[in-house]
Chain A
Amino acid sequence: MKVYIRSSACVSPQNTFNSAGFLTDVVESTGTRLKAIEPDYKQFIDPKQIRRMSHVIKMGIAAAKSCLTQADVEMPGAVITGTALGCIADTVTFLTRIVEQEEEMLPPTAFIQSTHNTVAAQIALILKCHNYNNTLVHKGISFESALFDAMMLLNEQEADNILVGGVEEMVDASFTVLTRLGLYKRWPLSNLSLYDTPSNGTIGGEGAAFFLITSEESPDSLAQLTGLKLLYKPKSVEERIIDFLKSNELGIDDIDLVVTGKNGDTKNDEVYKELGSSLFKNKSLANYKHLCGEYATSSSFALWMASNIVKGGVVPEIVKEGKFELASPKKVLIYNHYQGKYHSLMLISAT
């Protein structure tokens, strides 16, 4: 069975949404947290509802609807989302009110919109889509789990034109807690110099990227999703990557570009550094987390990026690790890991 990405839309801290250029107009910001650029939601959501919806719901709906429009599909065969923290803004709001109002006279809205399946549910509601609807919430492989679900559905021939996305919002409370947990750098820096001085911590991010995937190839398909592998605490990443490529009847020499999840944190980047001098030696490498920040579903940004790279045949300068020229890359491997535990491999080919 073959899987094609028919369209994709990405809301991120960069100009990625409905943008004419492909990572050409790069946004630089100083701090340790990148915020997503808000699309004009009026195009996608009833203005009366916009005020009531949290950031993550709005980003998700905008990306999902744009994805459908690009693919010229009105009704997806399934809606599947991946998110680690879900609707964290509404969760924090409701928790705050429980404490401050000592459990009395609480308004229900924040609770209603706090469940992790709210984004997928709201997409179904807006589209009046009664089809398969699921939400996967497993830390650094939330998006991959959703994508895996979508690929299984295609394989089972249970659905086609599946809308699948990764969504994550960052709020002040989660940023503060994650900073205390040591995830982010202790001083402000430009996102564009994230890789200049390796040190502890990275920068936080957020975003929503959706994909319409199908088993039917069409002339305007973005890319083919050739393979997906989820790994938990692998003993040797290198061996598992070789196995993964082999299972797709490929070797590392067949890969034109490797997109890695390098995030500027010394410990996090160790494995990429090691691979850079072994399996990935002499490979053209690309990074993306300086553009969108680190978050549990950032691999959805990477998939959006890799799909557009094989479609357009151009690697944006801003993502290149070092200097290289690469004419129309056809096969891209994405390797990301989240806090060393969850690793994922995605293989994207030009159609």
Chain B
Amino acid sequence: MSSSVYIAGVGAISAIGNNVAENLVSLKSEHAGMGDITMMDTIYRKQLPVAEVKLSNDELAVLADLPANISRTTLLSAIAAKEALDDANIPNINNLRTGFVSANSVGGMDKSEDFFVKFLADNSKGKLRDIFDHECGSMTELVADKLGISDFMTTVSTACSSSANAIFYGARLIKNDVVDVVIAGGTDSLTKFTLNGFNTLMILDKEFCKPFDEHREGLNLGEGSGYLVLVSEKVAQALVKQPYCILSGYNNSNDAYHQTASSPDGTGSYLAMQGALKKSGLQATDIDYINLHGTGTPNNDSAEGSAIKRLFGPDYPQMSSTKSYTGHTLGASGGIEAVFSVLAIQNKLIYPNLRFETRMDELPFEPVKQLLTDQDIKHVMSNSFGFGGNCTSLIFSAI
């Protein structure tokens, strides 16, 4: 089994930027992406803030070089996946086995919602074009076709940990010698389905979210996509530019507590972080920065915090939730945050946890409040936990 999996390229689009460079500028300038809902037709406009990508479908379609009438989720995916692949600039890629493992949570739901209004009134109505790509796999297929990838493709959907699991799956495809190169990550656009769904659970903050704050009141939904290009050691040696880092550890564990709520002691989160450390052969004290799942809901942050306290105490690494910038991008979050984790190593940065004011009573630590520069970061842990108890931690390590 091949030893290391290298990160050769990154691509991201989110509410704080349409590409990696723009995202990095926003991260450094502490610019959050939340605002009023402008793209979706919903009664929650002006009531619930969201973190929208600041481009219309027509504008995204131009960037993606795809038709504007397809799902926004596909358009977002195509843009960041292409950016990641271009960034990797792999010589003779046509002679290599290349895979695409993408994640999303609700497929082409943004289009299905339009279809459904007419369909519900009359089952013979509704444009079939709008429902044709409802399946999660359709997003992946359209983007793989666009990128000319056919050696291996699949789609992961484990709610909010989806794209961390896609990266995990992609890395294992390389380790098992199935492919040489894999683009892995995830995508999700804002939909009425998820907005209303999270709203029924009463976990949406009416203000901008405050992850890990004692007075946190919930999450803000976001949208976007994020991908890594993972390559085998052999491909890494032939790269034109140095790979960013390696994916040194990963683990997927299940909380097995409740369909949506996390266990009070964060069992699943603890097992995922502990398992990822074990896989990487690192000690807790080796981790320099944790990119938290940190949604901003009372339950999630409490569970994640408890698990960190148990695993890392009393010497806590620096940590922050970049969902304070991008909102919770669901099936894209693990991908976007993996890109941010890679950028943290490359740029020696630790991003602040925006709007943090008050330490949680139950925790002896708090997230980073201001941008930290010139940090010697060797190992970053990225957490992604989701509905269904699906908990995944990834560890990125400097080379």
Contact = CB atoms under 8 A, between A and B. Distances in A.
Interface of A: 79, 84-86, 91, 94-96, 98-100, 102-104, 106-108, 111-118, 120-122, 124-125, 127-139, 141-142, 145, 148-149, 152, 155-156, 173, 176-177, 180-181, 230, 232-233, 341
Given A121-B389, A137-B156, A142-B137, A128 B120 contact: no
A117 B154 contact: no
B342 to A, nearest CB: 23
B112 interface: yes
A260 to B, nearest CB: 22
Given A135-B157, A156-B1, A103 B256 contact: no
A85 B201 CA distance: 23
B225 interface: no
Given A103-B44, A124-B254, A134-B158, A108 B135 contact: no
B128 A138 contact: no
B225 to A, nearest CB: 16
Contacts of A133: 158, 252-254, 388-390
B386 interface: yes
B197 A173 contact: no
Contacts of B1: 155-156
Contact of A112 (B173, B257, B260, B268): B260
B123 interface: yes
Given A84-B135, A115-B388, A132 B192 contact: no
B284 interface: no
A124 B157 CA distance: 16
A273 to B, nearest CB: 25
Given A125-B259, A132-B253, A233-B150, 6 more contacts: A111-B201, A133-B389, A137-B137, A138-B155, A152-B173, A230-B154
- Most A C-beta atoms less than 10 A away, residue of B157, B178, B254: B254
Contacts of A131: 253-254
B95 interface: no
B140 A138 contact: yes
Interface of B: 1, 42-44, 105, 107, 112-113, 116-117, 119-120, 123-124, 128, 131-132, 134-138, 140-141, 144, 150-159, 165, 169, 172-173, 175-176, 178, 192-193, 196-197, 199-201, 252-260, 267-268, 271, 386-390
Contacts of A145: 154-155
A137 B43 contact: no
Contacts of B254: 79, 121, 124, 129-133
Contacts, number: 181
A103 B390 CA distance: 28
Most chain B beta carbons < 10 A, residue from A99, A102, A106: A99
A138 B154 contact: yes
28 contacts: A84-B136, A95-B113, A102-B43, A107-B200, A108-B201, A112-B197, A112-B259, A115-B386, A116-B105, A116-B157, A116-B159, A117-B387, A118-B388, A121-B254, A125-B389, A129-B256, A132-B254, A134-B158, A135-B157, A135-B158, A138-B153, A138-B155, A139-B138, A141-B154, A142-B137, A149-B172, A152-B178, A181-B128
A57 B44 CA distance: 31
Contact of A99 (B117, B144, B152, B172): B117
B256 A134 contact: no
A113 B120 contact: no
Contact of B197 (A111, A121, A177): A111
B280 to A, nearest CB: 14
A117 B141 CA distance: 20
A106 B196 contact: yes
A155 B169 CA distance: 14
B197 to A, nearest CB: 4
A121 B158 CA distance: 9
Contacts of B116: 95-96, 99
B339 to A, nearest CB: 22
A138 B255 CA distance: 25
A112 B387 contact: yes
A16 B248 CA distance: 44
Nearest to B149: A232
Given A117-B159, A131-B253, A156-B1, A177 B119 contact: yes
Nearest to B123: A176
B256 A111 contact: no
A152 B116 CA distance: 39
Contacts of A139: 135, 137-138, 141, 155
Contacts of B268: 130
Contacts of B165: 134
B176 A156 contact: yes
Nearest to B102: A138
Given A103-B44, A111-B200, A130-B271, A118 B192 contact: no
Contacts of B256: 124-125, 127-130
Contacts of A127: 256
Contacts of B131: 177
A130 B192 contact: no
Contacts of A117: 157-159, 386-388, 390
A140 B185 CA distance: 21
B154 A156 contact: no
Contacts of B136: 84, 86, 116, 137-138
A84 B387 contact: no
Contacts of A103: 42-44, 192, 196
Contacts of A128: 256
A180 B141 CA distance: 22
Contacts of A233: 150
A85 B44 CA distance: 28
Nearest to B173: A152
Nearest to B198: A111
A115 B176 contact: no
B154 A136 contact: yes
A171 to B, nearest CB: 13
Contacts of A108: 197, 200-201
Contact of B259 (A121, A130, A230): A121
Nearest 10 pairs between A and B by C-beta? A121-B388, A111-B197, A108-B200, A139-B137, A116-B157, A138-B137, A145-B154, A133-B254, A138-B155, A137-B136
